[in-house]
Structure 1
Amino acid sequence: MRNTLAMILAGGQGSRLTIFSSSRAKPAVPFGGIYRIIDFALSNVMHAKINVVGVLTQYRPSSLMDHLKKGDPWDFVGRNREIKVLPPYTGTHSSDWYKGTADAIYQNLWYIKRYKPKNVLILGGDHIYYMDYWKMVAYHEEKGADLTIATMNVPYEEASRFGIMTVNEENRIIRFHEKPKEPESTLASMGIYVFNADILTRKLMADAKDPGSQHDFGSNIIPEMIQENRVFNYVFEGYWRDVGTVQSFLDANMDLLNPASGLDLGKWDVHTNLEERNVADRPPAKIMSNASVSNSMLSRGCVIDGVVEQSILSPGVIIEKGAVVKNAIIMHDCVIRENAVLENVVTDKDVIFGKGSQVGVSGENVPNRIYPKYLNTGISIFGKGARVPDNVSIGRNCVIFPLANETHYTGTTVESGDSVGAEDA
């Protein structure tokens, strides 16, 4: 699609993911063993044959930039194809951040103007889904729309978390309410927009001059355009998951193990950067004589000599003899020593569980005392490089912060809801 340029909003902190997004932007969080969350949007752009994409970064972009590099895994190579990272440098101060989603695009209008596209496709980089953007752009042009918004029907009890649309018989959007307390419909915005480029430019320039604006698409640009322009609804009916919480992140990973979920990495042909941590060069996973593996995904370099059930293992994970891992996401190069038992666990990279340690096996479902709103469903989480000493028992909804080591533990038991280590490590 030579007449369409894509802009991916990838600067979000994702604070509800707690320690997993404390040192990286949410789109850079690993997913499904070898992928990162942003791979889904990038792969969709690649399959739609959109030649130029800008990735707007903000919060701790280093990990994301390392992942993107020059865009080779998504075929953004060659004279007419480009992926460009666009940081929020608005002037002489590197601390200038985007004021809102609309301001993020406004600050990078220069990039859009360079390519003179007819349409601008604006996406979030933090959802798990497959969408044929080509069909959405074709629908946008068929309707003669100034703006087309991708939507999906959500359960009524969840509608207050989204921007909610009301449409007429023509499928034209006539009302938009951002996170309404009493929704009048269940048609929710997915944060995926196709704009007429000229109209987008005019709207953003006017919005930038408005001192009372929040410079946000949902709060400012979209409501105004519904009143003044042709804004249409494009209904999406496929798999889509917001992985903004630890529980939803675990659930989406578990969907990979359920053939009926609709999440199919092979069918979607999701691409990623396999050069990081030399993933492409690691040997195949090895299943040893004492191993038992059921309904799980193992990545390259894994060595399994224990029990793995209903779990996702990233490259280089070692499960020693007698160890048991159930309902877990174990990221790159973690080690679970002999006779350790892990249930309902999500780890970052390079975590080591000592011999005989136990996590999530017992204890009440007490919300975490630091993150009670985000960690209250029984999952315990472990930050990058954390250590669990031998024979330590850790309850439910616990946080072991990055780089926590033996000196941070005050005994052999971490009660449910407690945390270990320094929050700012």
Structure 2
Amino acid sequence: MNKHLLGVIDATTHIEDLEELTSHRSVAAIPFGGRYRLIDFILSNMVNSGIQSVAIFPKFQYRSLMDHLGSGKNWDLNRKRDGLFFFPSPRLDKPIFGINSFEHFAENMDFLTRSTQEYCLISNANTIFNMDFSPLLDWHIDSNCDITEVQKNGRSINLFLVKTSLLLDLIHTRKETGYLNMKDVVTDLNSPYRVCHYSYEGYALTVDSISTYYAASMELLNREIWEKLFLQERPILTKVKDEPPTRYTSSAVVFNSMIANGAQIEGTVENSIIARGVHIAKGAVVKNSIIMQKTVIQENCVLEHVILDKDVKIEQGTTIIGTEQVPKILRKGSIVKGECVSS
């Protein structure tokens, strides 16, 4: 498998409906599940499928993403041959035409030309799923496809399989054909290529809005969904941080929640996702919420249907109430002092 597939992850996506979480990070680097980032899913899927060479194409706000991935060590991609590669766009003012833009790929043709893998798997960085790509490659070859688009319930998840040589041709001829990205090719009814559609039957959800992000996060608390995503034989890998276990005091009450290492829980947590290093003080109540890293919630606060970004401080006696449809979001570093905030 590792001799056949090259992994290409498009991390250039900018989504207006996620701007409250991307003022200082890319969509690919949005925290998820208390200890992961969105990109961890596609990157882990590639590595678990035997892919040993992965190129990531970011554009905006990618410092957090690069800090998270580092050399690729946690994904076994810190290699002398192949490994993990970053190709940021050298011109921020240059337009990128959709997901998997050939214009961005063209700026790094040397990498694609030198690649020894016969096939290329091209994906976005914000779909949550756990997929083995070996059956996909076999199906693609057996079906004599030029391009395979992976779909879930008839809708694309922006995952494409193509011969590397054909991808190079598409990039070289983009101005003549008018194909600016992979979507243009597969949706052209007059395309000269044999385009196939592979139906993925497992769990898959593309995070493209605050509502889908919140829904996907809350679905993790469903044991059935959890077991579809986090498989022992195909683990979702992430950056390892050596932190102590979470400390629960005698006043802590926790129900149906995910709590990462390094937290301190003294209050009540229900149906929520709590990231590393969070402190929830005595008398505080957190329900149906997503609390990101190193946030502090002081005594007697009430939070429900909220998303708190990293390093937020909620001071004593504050009440913040959102709704399932419109969760209340506080940006990184926000400080709320004794207010009652509701959607």
TM norm structure 1 = 0.76
Residue of structure 1 equivalent to 2:235: 269
Post-superposition CA distance 1:72-102 (Å, at most 9, x none)? 111102233311001112xxx5643433423
Question: For residues 96 and 28 of structure 2, what CA distance do their matches in structure 1 show?
Answer: 17
* Alignment equivalent of 1:381, drawn from 320, 324, 329: 329
Q: CA deviation at 1:378?
A: 3.4
Residue of structure 1 equivalent to 2:20: 19
Residue of structure 1 equivalent to 2:171: 204
Question: For residues 283 and 66 of structure 1, what CA distance do their matches in structure 2 show?
Answer: 21
Q: Which amino acid aligns with 2:265?
A: I
Q: Which amino acid aligns with 1:239?
A: Y
Q: Which amino acid aligns with 2:43?
A: L
Q: Which amino acid aligns with 2:21?
A: F
Range that drifts further, 230-239 or 326-335: 230-239
Would the aligned equivalents of 1:225 and 1:231 in 2 still touch at CA under 8 Å? no
Post-superposition CA distance 1:349-395 (Å, at most 9, x none)? 0001111100117xxx7xxxxxxxxxx923100000000102x1001
Q: Which amino acid aligns with 2:256?
A: N
Question: For residues 11 and 227 of structure 1, what CA distance do their matches in structure 2 show?
Answer: 26
RMSD: 1.8
Q: CA deviation at 1:24?
A: 1.1
Question: For residues 252 and 55 of structure 2, what CA distance do their matches in structure 1 show?
Answer: 45
Post-superposition CA distance 1:305-332 (Å, at most 9, x none)? 1100000000011111100000000000
Question: For residues 233 and 214 of structure 1, what CA distance do their matches in structure 2 show?
Answer: 19
Residue of structure 2 equivalent to 1:171: none
Would the aligned equivalents of 2:211 and 2:326 in 1 still touch at CA under 8 Å? no
Equivalent positions of 1:14-413 (< 5 A) are 14-89=15-90, 93=91, 95-100=93-98, 101-153=101-153, 187-209=154-176, 213=178, 215-218=180-183, 220-224=184-188, 227-261=191-225, 263-267=228-232, 268-274=234-240, 280-360=241-321, 377-390=325-338, 392-396=339-343
Q: Which amino acid aligns with 1:352?
A: K
Q: CA deviation at 1:31?
A: 0.4
Q: Which amino acid aligns with 1:357?
A: T
Range that drifts further, 136-145 or 52-61: 136-145
Would the aligned equivalents of 1:9 and 1:57 in 2 still touch at CA under 8 Å? yes
The verdict on how the C-alpha distance between 1:57 and 1:378 changes in structure 2, with shifts beyond 3 A counting, is: closer
Question: For residues 263 and 328 of structure 2, what CA distance do their matches in structure 1 show?
Answer: 22
Would the aligned equivalents of 1:102 and 1:221 in 2 still touch at CA under 8 Å? no
Identity %, equivalent residues: 31
Q: Which amino acid aligns with 2:132?
A: D
Q: Number of residues paired by the alignment?
A: 338
Would the aligned equivalents of 2:202 and 2:228 in 1 still touch at CA under 8 Å? no
The verdict on how the C-alpha distance between 1:224 and 1:108 changes in structure 2, with shifts beyond 3 A counting, is: farther
Query: Computing the radius of gyration over CA atoms, which structure comes out larger, 1 or 2?
Result: 1
Q: CA deviation at 1:224?
A: 4.4
Q: CA deviation at 1:134?
A: 1.5
Would the aligned equivalents of 2:129 and 2:229 in 1 still touch at CA under 8 Å? no
Q: Which amino acid aligns with 2:196?
A: F
Would the aligned equivalents of 1:145 and 1:196 in 2 still touch at CA under 8 Å? no
Residue of structure 2 equivalent to 1:7: 8
The verdict on how the C-alpha distance between 1:272 and 1:152 changes in structure 2, with shifts beyond 3 A counting, is: same
Question: For residues 254 and 151 of structure 1, what CA distance do their matches in structure 2 show?
Answer: 23
The gaps in structure 2 that reach 5 residues or longer are: none
TM norm structure 2 = 0.93
Q: CA deviation at 1:14?
A: 2.3
Higher relative contact order (CA 8 A, sep 6+): 2
